[in-house]
Amino acid sequence: MPQNEHIELFQKRYGFRMDYQERQRKKKAREHKLQSKMAQKLIGIKGKIFAKKRYSEKVQLKRTIKAHEEKKTRKKDEGKVPEGAMPAYLLDRENTSQAKLLSSMVKQKRKEKAGKWDVPLPKVRAQSEAEVFRVLKTGKSRRKGWKRLVTKVCFVGEGFTRKPPKYERFVRPMALRFKKAHVTHPELKATFCLPIVGVKKNPSSPMYTSLGVITKGTIIEVNVSELGLVTQGGKVVWGKYAQVTNNPENDGCINAILLV
Amino acid sequence: MSLYNFKKIVIVPTAKDFIDIVLSKTQRKTPTVVHKQYKISRIRQFYMRKVKFSQQTFHDKLSTILTDFPKLDDIHPFYADLMNVLYDKDHYKLALGQINIALHLIDNVSKDYVRLLKYGDSLYRCKQLKKAALGRMATIMKRQAQSLQYLEQVRQHLSRLPSIDPNTRTLLICGFPNVGKSSFINKITRADVEVQPYAFTTKSLFVGHTDHRYLRWQVVDTPGILDHPLENRNTIEMQAIAALAHLRAAILYVMDISEQCGHTIEQQVALFESIKPLFANKPLLVVLNKTDVIRLEELKPEQKTLIQGFINDDIPVMEMSTLSEEGVMAVKTEACERLLAHRIEVKIKSKKVEGILNRLHVAVPKPRDGVVRPAFVPENVIKQRLTKEPKPKKKTERDLEVELEDDYSLDLKKNYDLPADFKYDVIPEFWEGKNIADYIDPDIMAKLEELEREEELRIESGVYDKEEEEMDDEEKEIHRLASKIREKKAIIAIESRIGRSGGAPVMPRAGRKRERSVSRLRSEFEELGVDMSNKSGAHFSRTKSRSASRPPIKKARADSTGRVSSSSRVTPRDQSGIRNVELKAKAKKMGHKAQGKMNQFGKAGEADRHIAVKMPRHLYSGKRGIGKTDRR
């Protein structure tokens, strides 16, 4: 025992009080009263935090109780048949796989006709110009209102230089320019922080696409060389499309799903 | 200067608690109410403040953690080595590095989101951005949960380390497990180290303090060391090795010659040889313990030669037994002396000594002649010493207790110097409001009589007679006058008190009769008996009145004595203080000018601020834009 542990040393040498165990047991038995008092008395933000904590504790409690109860009951054993098992008299038959193959080919052709992009978010709310642009008053007496300030997140690309300030119509502030996006691979369920190459299409308007405005539902092209994907021919894939899934101006970051 | 007090490190909370603390602090210390109809700049400021405040709080708490934990490069190598053994230097540095990274990440997050908040154009958007910012900071802290937990454990252990000062005089005790190191330290210091029959009872370093030659000595007890190479050593043994390596102390290598510890003497000597490099430059002492079981002479010759080997190497060997306590003090004294000599030697060799030695001079008195003058010892004492008669031992209470066993009871009153029937009396403490202890004195009656006699003598000799002072005429006169003055003063005081009472209206200053006048002076002095008729050498005279033109006085004016005089008149206020006619005219003009405005507005006085017409039409109508309209 280290030199400074006086309490433990005393306990080792002289033991505990005669009623120590009894008192510990009784104290533990009284704990529920304290909890209920707190639950009733706490108000305001503390009350909310306490209620949340207590709720998660109760959920855990209920789960363990249910797990214990499961052991006691007996389940009826249904005669389970594994998938794809066929009775003996059907074994030699040829199934209707061919027909299925044909119908799937038809479906594929239809899809190709409809459109190349089958995206995770097919429909998005269109953004009006009033939402995306804010009028910027310029001029000596702040009378001229032909300039617009972009209020949404945008991407400008490397080597971007502004037009001379006197002539630029759309002002894209530096704070709202993003270069990286958090892209999730839908199958791997892993998220990577990948650099953006460009904005492919903004569903609200082609003007937004040309400006590089990124809103929810925009298709962007990201640099996936980090993932190390390789094509069938052996070439390295370095760019893929992804669709933005959040409102970047509200969250301060761009979250997207990779379109595989 | 390194820090040996590791108890002042701030508590490291768990990740969850950390986040809770900071977020609840943000909620309490920043304004909480904002509405969407406020100006957008106000909304933005509100949310930016919250983000910045959270960042500041995180930053402050993390940086205190980083500064409080000791840097392994800044502390004494003994502590650095000990911490490496106990907590693993790499893990420790990594944990602190992670906290540092988290600090910078949080700062960056805050910067980014404050930049974004500047472009928030609605309450909803600003609120979402603030939520995102605080959420990101919280996730950064959640990832540090492991590091924080580790650092809290390190802090708790560190604050419980024994406070060993690496620079002071230290005795270090080492040897195999179970040889009697902890028993030894228990004997010479007050450190209560556990002593048990199993090996590795002592699992960490223990410190005790002892005194020798009026100096304080530190005694450090180490866990036992086994004989295997350094790589195979476990944490407990490594602590002992760290102490041996870095503390400049006298080493006491304890051996068990009765072999009760489970290791033979050959093994113990082998261990000594293997850790010999650690003993370089340190005074060394080999101590043979448990001599109550077997003495050095009774050992087998092979073992004796091994021990002889030590003596041949100039390493002193001493015997002791911690059970019977023989030789323990001798060992301690020897070790202390050796260490002291060593330290003095080192100090002499260092450069600082030159400066001190030049200033030191030990003066020895020159012998006057060749006569030897030894200490004087009476003959009886010499005889006694030679015969070595033991003094008759007094019977102590303890001996009595041992004799009587159960029948013994402590009786402190049995040796009292009183007659037998008074010895066991109960004495009260107070009597009639006085402490009895104040009056306890065997010859109190004799003292009282003596005092009374002395007092009588004094009274007879006239020490207490009051002297009748003989005053001469001058003094008598002075006394009389003084009493008169006192009387008069009292009368004046009473009169003024009477005069002040009552709500009688007071005449203004100009209307009051003249108080100070020559006639009054005359009358009062004559009352007192002074001769005032002679005017030639007098310093008082009738004052000239100060008014420039004195109109002829038509009324009969009387002053306090009833005499009519022509000079009793107070200068009116509009004439006092004016030197000449021009000034008077100017003053009059100024007065009229000031009065004019007040008259125009019908003011009752200077303090009248009433405005009859707030907006007079003639001032507020008309096409003139620029320029005041009180002039047309």
Which residue of B116, B129, B136, B185 to mutate against A (max A Cβ within 10 Å)? B116
Average pLDDT, chain B: 86
Q: Could you give phi then psi for residue A18, rounded to 5 degrees?
A: -65, -35
C-alpha distances (whole Å) from A147 to each of A128, A161, A215, B609 are: 17, 18, 21, 57
Residues 6+ apart with CB under 8 A from B109: B55, B133, B136, B137, B140
Give the distance from residue A251's alpha carbon to the nearest chain B alpha carbon, in angstroms. 5
pLDDT for the residue numbered B66: 95
Intra-chain end-to-end CA distance of chain B, in Å: 85
For strand A180-184 and strand A191-201, is the pairing parallel, antiparallel, or unpaired?
Answer: antiparallel
pLDDT for the residue numbered B407: 85
Q: Could you tell me how many CB contacts below 8 A there are between chain A and chain B?
A: 52
Indicate whether B535 pLDDT > 80: no
- For helices B352-359 and B328-349, the axis angle rounded to 10 degrees is 100
Distance CA(A111)–CA(B372), nearest Å, equals: 130
C-alpha distances (whole Å) from A44 to each of A47, A58, B344 are: 5, 21, 70
Q: ∠B143-B148-B154 over CA atoms, to 5°?
A: 155
Among the residue ranges B98-102, B414-418, B488-492, B526-530, the one predicted with the least confidence is B526-530
Give exposure, B68-85, as e/b (b: 16+ Cβ within 10 Å).
Answer: ebbebeebbebbbbbbbb
Distance CA(B401)–CA(B614), nearest Å, equals: 110
B137, B109 in Cβ contact below 8 A? yes
CATH, range B15-160: 1.20.120.1190
Indicate whether B384 pLDDT > 90: no
Residues 6+ apart with CB under 8 A from B83: B70, B72, B75, B89, B92, B158
- The mean pLDDT of B120-142, rounded to a whole number, is 95
- The mean pLDDT of B354-368, rounded to a whole number, is 84
Residues 6+ apart with CB under 8 A from A49: B20
- Local structure of A239: helix, strand or coil: strand
Residues of chain B contacting A151 with CB distance shorter than 8 Å = 119, 121
Q: Which residues pair with A221 in a beta bridge?
A: A198, A241
Residues of chain B contacting A249 with CB distance shorter than 8 Å = 116, 119, 125
Give the distance from residue A56's alpha carbon to the nearest chain B alpha carbon, in angstroms. 15
Q: Which two tokens stand for residue B292?
A: 């109550």
Report the percent of chain B where pLDDT is more than 70.
92
Contact A135/B at CB under 8 A: no
Distance CA(A147)–CA(A82), nearest Å, equals: 68
- The mean pLDDT of A65-86, rounded to a whole number, is 74
Q: Which two tokens stand for residue A219?
A: 């298709």
- pLDDT tens digits, one per residue of B221-237: 988 888 888 888 888 88
Distance CA(B511)–CA(B513), nearest Å, equals: 6
Residues of chain B contacting A1 with CB distance shorter than 8 Å = 194, 203
Give the distance from residue B45's alpha carbon to the nearest chain A alpha carbon, in angstroms. 17
pLDDT band (50, 70, 90) for residue B377: confident
pLDDT for the residue numbered B2: 45
Report the amino acid identity of residue A73.
T
Contact A127/B at CB under 8 A: no
- Does A1 contact B194 at a Cβ distance shorter than 8 Å? yes
Indicate whether A176 pLDDT > 90: yes
Q: Which two tokens stand for residue B502?
A: 């009552």
Indicate whether B551 pLDDT > 70: no
Report the percent of chain B where pLDDT is more than 90.
37
What share of residues in chain B are helix, strand, coil (percent, to 5)?
50, 5, 45
Domain ranges of chain B: 15-160, 170-351
Find the closest chain A residue to B207 by CA distance. A3
Closest by Cβ to A151, choosing from B115, B119, B194: B119
- The mean pLDDT of B418-447, rounded to a whole number, is 87
Among the residue ranges A31-45, A211-225, B261-275, B609-623, the one predicted with the least confidence is B609-623
- Overall fold of domain B170-351: Rossmann fold (3.40.50)
pLDDT band (50, 70, 90) for residue B193: confident
A135, A148 in Cβ contact below 8 A? yes
pLDDT for the residue numbered B1: 35
Indicate whether B520 pLDDT > 50: yes
Indicate whether A122 pLDDT > 80: yes
Distance CA(A256)–CA(A120), nearest Å, equals: 10
A185, A193 in Cβ contact below 8 A? no
- pLDDT tens digits, one per residue of A226-239: 888 888 888 999 99
Contact A207/B at CB under 8 A: no
pLDDT for the residue numbered B606: 84
Give the distance from residue B177's alpha carbon to the nearest chain A alpha carbon, in angstroms. 15
For strand B170-175 and strand A255-258, is the pairing parallel, antiparallel, or unpaired?
Answer: unpaired
Q: Which of A72-81, A123-132, B514-523 has the highest mean pLDDT?
A: A123-132
- pLDDT tens digits, one per residue of A11-24: 988 999 999 999 99
Nearest to B412 by CA among B421, B402, B422, B423: B423
pLDDT for the residue numbered B487: 94
Q: Which two tokens stand for residue A57?
A: 């504790």
Distance of alpha carbon B78 from the chain centroid: 31
The single residue listed with the structure tokens 């005393």 is: A10
Distance CA(B307)–CA(B317), nearest Å, equals: 8
Residues of chain A contacting B27 with CB distance shorter than 8 Å = 45
H or E segment and range at residue B286: strand B284-289
Nearest to A239 by CA among A258, A254, A255, A253: A258
Sequential DSSP letters for B405-448: GGG----GGGG-SS-HHHHT----SEETTEEGGGG--TTHHHHH
pLDDT for the residue numbered A152: 95
Distance CA(B118)–CA(B40), nearest Å, equals: 10
H or E segment and range at residue A242: strand A239-244
Closest by Cβ to B132, choosing from A3, A49, A252: A252
B250, B257 in Cβ contact below 8 A? no
Residues of chain B contacting A11 with CB distance shorter than 8 Å = none
Q: Which two tokens stand for residue B395?
A: 């019977």
For strand A144-150 and strand A133-138, is the pairing parallel, antiparallel, or unpaired?
Answer: antiparallel
Indicate whether A127 pLDDT > 70: yes
pLDDT for the residue numbered B619: 76
pLDDT for the residue numbered B560: 62
Indicate whether B410 pLDDT > 70: yes
- The mean pLDDT of B3-32, rounded to a whole number, is 90
Q: Which domains does chain A have, with CATH numbers?
A: 1-48 (no CATH), 127-256 (2.40.10.310)
- Does B162 contact A3 at a Cβ distance shorter than 8 Å? yes
Residues of chain A contacting B119 with CB distance shorter than 8 Å = 151, 173, 175-176, 249
pLDDT for the residue numbered B559: 58
Closest by Cβ to A251, choosing from B118, B119, B132: B132
- Does B118 contact A175 at a Cβ distance shorter than 8 Å? yes
Interface of B with A (CB under 8 A): 20, 24, 27, 112-113, 115-116, 118-119, 121, 124-125, 128-129, 132-133, 160-162, 191-194, 203-207
- Does A2 contact B118 at a Cβ distance shorter than 8 Å? no
B285, B318 in Cβ contact below 8 A? yes
Residues of chain B contacting A10 with CB distance shorter than 8 Å = none
Sequential DSSP letters for B124-179: HHHHHHHHHHHHHHHHHHHHTHHHHHHHHHHHHHHHTS----TTS-EEEEEESTTS
DSSP category for residue B180: S
H or E segment and range at residue A10: helix A6-14
Longest dimension (CA), chain A: 93
Give the distance from residue A127's alpha carbon to the nearest chain B alpha carbon, in angstroms. 15
Give the distance from residue A151's alpha carbon to the nearest chain B alpha carbon, in angstroms. 7
- pLDDT tens digits, one per residue of B23-82: 999 999 999 999 999 999 999 999 999 999 999 999 999 999 999 999 999 899 999 999
- The mean pLDDT of A131-148, rounded to a whole number, is 91
A177, A248 in Cβ contact below 8 A? no
pLDDT for the residue numbered B625: 62
Distance CA(A222)–CA(A182), nearest Å, equals: 10
- Does A1 contact B132 at a Cβ distance shorter than 8 Å? no
